[in-house]
Structure 1
Amino acid sequence: MRKKKLNYEEQIEDLKRRGITFNDFTEEEALHYLKYNNNLFKLSSYRKNYNKQLYNKAQYIHLDFGELVDLATIDMYLRRIILQMALDIEHFAKVALLRRISTSPLEDGYAIVSDYINSLAPTQLGHLQSELKRNAQSPYCHNAYQKYKDDMPVWVFIEIISFGSFISFYKYCAERFKTNDCESGNKALERDDKRMLDNFYLMLSVKQVRNASAHNNCILNDLKDKTLIARKQTSWVLNREIAKLGTGSTSRIKKISNIRISQILSCFLVYHRVVTSEEVSRKIALTLHTWVNRLYQKHDFSKNLVIKTTFNLFKSSIDNWFPIL
């Protein structure tokens, strides 16, 4: 059934019917906000973080319009940070991969690309070929593609594929290195191979939360949702590192069972593991700590344990993985 389109005055009345109060904003200020700063569909999605009254499921408990606005703002800042972090992760993962290939006497930089392409299933191969043809039309990739399309070296290939395709190639390389290193008995490199594979699983989560952020989707609007699938998809490395923060097992399981929380923390963790530039890391650390300071600037969310404990976990992870020295 289609819902009736509401004018702005009706939107305010609809929020009031849902038990949402207007203590921080007057109704006139809220109306102006909905007209010029956000929209009801997006803003009201944050109500999923709140409980409803026991005997009146149509109304929410302890939910003020100002808290919805605050969450929308905090979310907006986080999306911007995640986009920057994802760019850095992609760049430094490529740097590390090229370093590994450049120092390996078994790799010439060409065979690893052709072997990867030949390993793809027909559907995957078709997807990659379509992607390369699309990127060949870009003024930023066209010349490189035309010059190397018949025999592409790895340093060109990774620059003209998407982040998603790079992650797939990254996994192929890690498994290839692992096979070679197991045969040679090089334990140090085997540990590097395992770290690469661990980073691959973390980067899968980064890709998803990066895509959501790039499309300006809300990412902090459903922190109560918990699924077994989300818990199973969470990297064991993330689970281990969260445990090191002092998070109890019950609380940890609850948090990683929310796909949004798990993916955001995965982004934080893989950045900590992959980015090797002290200057770049320090800049993102300062940005993250500024964001943490913004979390409780206007509301302490003391009446909402879901939000409070989630924000505390984000703060703990940032304090530990991104210390400001």
Structure 2
Amino acid sequence: MDMIKREIERNKNSIYCGDLFKKYPEHFPMWVFLEMIPFGRMVSFYKFCGERYHSDIMRDRHFLLKTCKEIRNAAAHSSCILNELRPGSKMYNSRYSVMKELAKIEGISKAVRTKRMSNARVQQIVTLLYTHNQIVTSSGVHKEARVLLQKFSERMVKNIHYYEKNDLIMANFCFLKMVIDSWYEA
């Protein structure tokens, strides 16, 4: 609990959260609490709520959010996300819910799903895309994500001939394009 208090205290003079801290110095509403804590702490809090209310859905989503946190941190710190695409680098098994949704995509066999999702980076990207579809409820946000992801999908294969001698890049780009095109169709 002291760690959470310290994290919230750090926001006292923040240009982003300072006014909220001043407005609610002692007892702030839940939305303010969620604004004040780091994303990783929010994921832990979500898990706590899932356990407290015996919610299997929340517990499952907690693991999805943890995966999202990993790729979010990599992106935030300018890590090279697509620098290693070989199969077999995953740290844990993909969530059943993600694999079940992937199984619905025409043209992706079980063998391909298993192989592509055995790469930690691809697993994180696909899990992020799946989680967005499951958790975000705003149709406007979904529409904007669809537009941006379709542009990304097109950009990914725009010069695919550059990689024609690299089967690993070709296979992963094609897999990700199929996922994006299926889950975020125009």
Match of 2:52 in 1: 176
Mark the structure with the bigger radius of gyration. 1
1:157 to partner: Cα distance = 0.7
CA deviation profile, 1:99-158 (whole Å, cap 9, x unmatched): xxxxxxxxxxxxxxxxxxxxxxxxxx3432321121122132223224434333312211
Please list the CA deviations of residues 50-72 of structure 1 after superposition, one character each: whole Å capped at 9, or x if unmatched.
xxxxxxxxxxxxxxxxxxxxxxx
**8 Å CA contact 1:132, 1:161 repeated in 2:** yes
1:213 to 62, 75, 97: 75
Counterpart position of 1:154: 30
Q: CA deviation at 1:313?
A: 1.5
Change (3 A) 1:172 1:149: farther
Question: Does 1:278 find its partner at 2:154?
Answer: no
Q: Which residue in the other structure is 1:68 paired with? A: none
Cα distance, 1:281–1:133 mapped onto 2, change above 3 Å = same
* Range with bigger deviation, 151-160 or 212-221: 151-160
Deviates more, 1:290-299 or 1:246-255: 246-255
Post-superposition offset of 1:290:
1.0
Checking the alignment, whether the CA contact within 8 Å between 1:171 and 1:197 is kept in structure 2 is: yes
Which amino acid in 1 is paired with 2:184? F
Q: Which runs of 4+ in 1 moved over 4 A?
A: none
Residue in 2 aligned with 1:299?
A: 160
TM-score (ref. length: structure 2): 0.88
Distance in structure 1 (CA, Å) of the matches to 2:150 and 2:18 = 40
Q: Distance in 1 between matches of 2:36 and 2:174?
A: 39
Contact 1:223 1:260 in 2 (8 A): yes
Superposed, 1:84-123 pairs within 5 Å as: none
Structure 1 residue identity aligned to 2:95: S
In structure 2, what residue type is equivalent to 1:131? E
Q: Give 2:149's aligned residue.
A: 288
Taking the aligned partners of 1:126 and 1:236, their CA distance within structure 2 comes to 35
User: What is the DSSP-based 3-state SS (H/G/I as helix, E as strand, rest coil) of the residue aligned with 1:152?
Assistant: coil
Per the TM alignment, residue 258 of structure 1 is displaced from its structure 2 partner at its CA by 1.1
Q: Equivalents in 1 of 2:183, 2:160: separation in Å?
A: 25
Name the residue aligned to 1:265: 126
Is 1:132 matched up with 2:8? yes
With over 3 angstroms needed to count, the CA separation of the structure-2 counterparts of 1:231 and 1:252, relative to structure 1, is: farther
Task: Indicate if the aligned counterparts of 1:230 and 1:259 stay in contact, CA closer than 8 A.
Answer: yes
Unaligned runs of 5+ in 1: 1-124, 179-192
Q: Determine the C-alpha separation between the residues in 1 that align with 2:160 and 2:178.
A: 19
> Which is worse superposed, 248-257 or 272-281?
248-257
Q: Which amino acid aligns with 1:155?
A: W
- Aligned-residue offset at 1:217: 1.1
Q: In the alignment, residue 105 of structure 2 is paired with which amino acid?
A: L
Shift of 1:252: 2.0
Tell me which of 225, 233, 236 is aligned to 2:96.
Answer: 236
Cα distance in 2 for residues equivalent to 1:194 and 1:145: 33
Gaps of 5+ in 2: none
Tell me the residue number matched to 1:317: 179
Of 149, 155, 163 in structure 1, the residue corresponding to residue 39 of structure 2 is: 163
Residue aligning to 1:198: 60
Give aligned pairs, total.
184
Distance 2:100 2:92 in 1: 13
Distance in 1 separating the partners of 2:23 and 2:151: 45
The two structures, once aligned, show a CA RMSD in angstroms of: 1.9
Bigger relative CO (Cα 8 Å, ≥ 6 apart): 1
Match runs of 1:26-105 below 5 Å: none
- What's the counterpart of residue 105 of structure 2? 245
User: Residue 27 of structure 1 aligns with which residue?
Assistant: none
